[in-house]
Amino acid sequence: GVGKMLATVDSPLNHLTCDKMRHLLLLKNSEKYLDRLGDNLQSQLRLSDKMQDTIAELKERVVEAERTYEDVEPKLKRAIAVTKELKGCVEKHLSIRYKGRPVRIMGDINTL
């Protein structure tokens, strides 16, 4: 009946009015639409190039940071060792001053 005929007409009509078809028709018939899409693509290409440059710069920074860490790490380990040694000496000398009672320095120094 009528429902079947309506379905027969709706199917091709839906294909003609879908977003893809509208997009294709605008590409074919509208110079402004085509220019706008071209400008949008150019903008995205520039943004992509900029992001690639940023990625390369960040990779260089990572390499430099790793190099700096490798330079600083031995100095830091040595400073920590000297600090712990000094802490032990201070505790020992304070213990002597307090007639042999044990002295323990507390605080952030113990987290090294």
pLDDT, tens digit (0-9, with 9 covering 90-100), for 29-85: 999 999 999 999 999 999 999 999 999 999 999 999 999 999 999 999 999 999 999
pLDDT for position 2: 83
pLDDT, tens digit (0-9, with 9 covering 90-100), for 9-45: 888 777 777 888 888 888 889 999 999 999 999 999 9
* pLDDT at 97 exceeding the cut of 80: yes
Write the single-letter amino acid at 71: D
Q: Give the global pTM.
A: 0.51
